[in-house]
């Protein structure tokens, strides 16, 4: 007999502290056939409640992760949330991890090219790296780029 994999279920415990707890669901989700001006007024009232909510960011993050299509979540209506979710998706996984990470920011880093430890500000940003900084310091990166351009120039001149 095959065992089924356990399905990850979202944690909804935060809803117990939400400002909207006990509020009328129609305020947050509206009704079918709602006119635009009615929807805007309803969403304004709902976002006012969200504005004083202690779990607003958790609510919005959950809506992004579940791709909630209807209603007001985390203080954003359907259209604005859809737009912000696209931007949220475009962010790299490193940036999302950095938002939630409780690690100390990098203050100094060792450059393998010049074998020196330098302040983090001396390293270009690189989202692909785990610490968000390029492997080499700016002077070493610039020197390497100059060497590459010089080789490319020599190859062009050799061909011509």
pLDDT value at residue 7 = 53
Residue among 16, 18, 76, 15 at smallest CA distance from 46: 76
- Domain ranges in the chain are 13-90, 108-159
Concatenating the DSSP letter of every residue in 63-90 gives HHHHT--SS-BTTB-HHHHHHHHHHHHH
Q: Annotation-wise, does 137 bind a ligand? A: no
Looking at residues 32-50, what average pLDDT do you find? 90
Residues 48/40, Cβ–Cβ less than 8 Å: no
Q: Annotation-wise, does 111 bind a ligand? A: no
pLDDT value at residue 64 = 85
Q: Annotation-wise, does 114 bind a ligand? A: no
- Please give the angle made by the CA atoms of 142, 120 and 114, to the nearest 5 degrees: 45
pLDDT value at residue 97 = 61
Q: pLDDT tens digit string along 82-113?
A: 888 888 777 755 565 655 555 567 788 889 88
Q: Annotation-wise, does 59 bind a ligand? A: yes
Bigger pLDDT: 95 vs 35: 35
- Token duo for residue 53: 């909510």
Report how far residue 17's alpha carbon sits from residue 160's, in angstroms, rounded to the nearest whole number: 72
pLDDT value at residue 92 = 57
What is the biggest distance separating any 2 CA atoms in the chain, rounded to whole angstroms? 77
Looking at residues 122-145, what average pLDDT do you find? 86
Q: Which residues have a Cβ under 8 Å from the Cβ of 15 and sit 6 or more positions away? A: 21, 55
**pTM higher than 0.75 for the full model?**
no
């Amino acid at each position: 007999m095959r065992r089924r994999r356990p399905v990850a279920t979202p944690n909804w415990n935060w809803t117990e502290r939400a400002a909207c707890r006990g509020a009328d669901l129609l305020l947050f989700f509206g009704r079918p056939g709602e006119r635009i001006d009615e929807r805007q007024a309803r969403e304004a009232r709902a976002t006012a409640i969200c504005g004083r909510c202690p779990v607003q960011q958790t609510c919005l993050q959950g809506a992004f992760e579940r791709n909630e299509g209807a209603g007001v979540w985390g203080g954003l209506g359907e259209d604005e949330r859809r737009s912000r979710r696209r931007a949220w998706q475009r962010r790299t996984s490193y940036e999302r991890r950095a938002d939630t990470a409780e690690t100390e920011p990098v203050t100094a880093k060792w450059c393998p090219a010049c074998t020196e430890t330098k302040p983090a500000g001396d390293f270009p940003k690189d989202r692909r790296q785990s610490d968000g900084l390029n492997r080499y310091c700016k002077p070493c990166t610039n020197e390497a780029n100059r060497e590459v351009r010089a080789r490319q120039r020599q190859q062009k001149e050799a061909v011509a």
